Amino acid sequence: MISSFIWLAVAAAVLLYGIVIYNGLVSLKHGVTKAWSNIDVLLKQRHDELPKLVETCKQYMQFERDTLEKVMKARSGAQTAREAGDVKGVGAAEGLMRAGLGGIVATVEAYPELKANQSIQQLLGRITGLENAISDRREFYNETVNVNNVRIEQFPDVIVARLLGFKSAVLLEFSEEEKRDVDMKALFNS
């Protein structure tokens, strides 16, 4: 009788512990989704601002069309990857787009009439603010992904994670090209 009670108590304790682990993993999984959603909102806002900047710049930069076309092509690729939920694709496309934005900024700096244009300065300020917010959110997202991935690999969480199909999440990483220092001389000479 007492041994049955002990086995029942042990089984109940194991079940409760499993429930606690499961609830923690579910919370982490939804934290990753929420962190990605925050990045997604900022990326969409920036993508909405880019055409305005490009249109404003076009009025002054007829001969700099290549720079503008690169940014819009990268924007399109980033938007497609974002809509598909392809985190790696977003990282690659965002890297290209940020490099293109660097080209626009360098061009604006090189032309006094662009630099003096208040609309361009406001758009650049807005995009810079969004870039900073994206950077902050990317850091938070990657930290959340890291916590999630560690938890689903740690014992005893790994048992519950494997039994219930929890998957690791993908870090948002940008290309090696974007991580390198910007060659301002090359930007001004292009």
- What pTM value is reported for the model? 0.63
**For residue 111, how far is the Cα from the chain centroid?**
32
Residue where the block lists tokens 């995009």: 127
Write down the domain spans for the chain: 2-189
Predicted pLDDT of residue 61: 61
pLDDT, residue 59, reads 65
Contact 10, 84 (CB under 8 A): no
**What pLDDT is attached to residue 184?**
40
pLDDT of residue 16: 92
Question: Token pair of 32, please?
Answer: 């990753």
Task: Look at residue 2 in the predicted model and tell me its pLDDT.
Answer: 76
Domain 2-189 belongs in CATH node 1.20.1440.20: yes
Q: So what's the pLDDT on residue 30?
A: 92
pLDDT string in tens for the chain (190-residue length): 778 888 988 899 999 998 999 999 999 999 998 998 888 888 888 878 877 777 777 666 654 667 777 777 887 888 888 888 788 888 888 777 777 777 777 777 777 776 777 777 888 888 888 888 888 888 898 999 999 999 999 898 899 889 899 998 888 876 655 444 444 444 444 4
How far, in Å, CA of 145 to CA of 168, rounded? 8
Distance between CA atoms of residues 151 and 162, nearest Å: 12
175 three-class SS? coil
In the numeric block, the tokens 């009788």 are attached to 1
Question: Does residue 188 sit in helix, strand or coil?
Answer: helix
| Integer CA distances (angstroms), 163 to 18, 24, 28, 158, in order | 11, 15, 17, 8
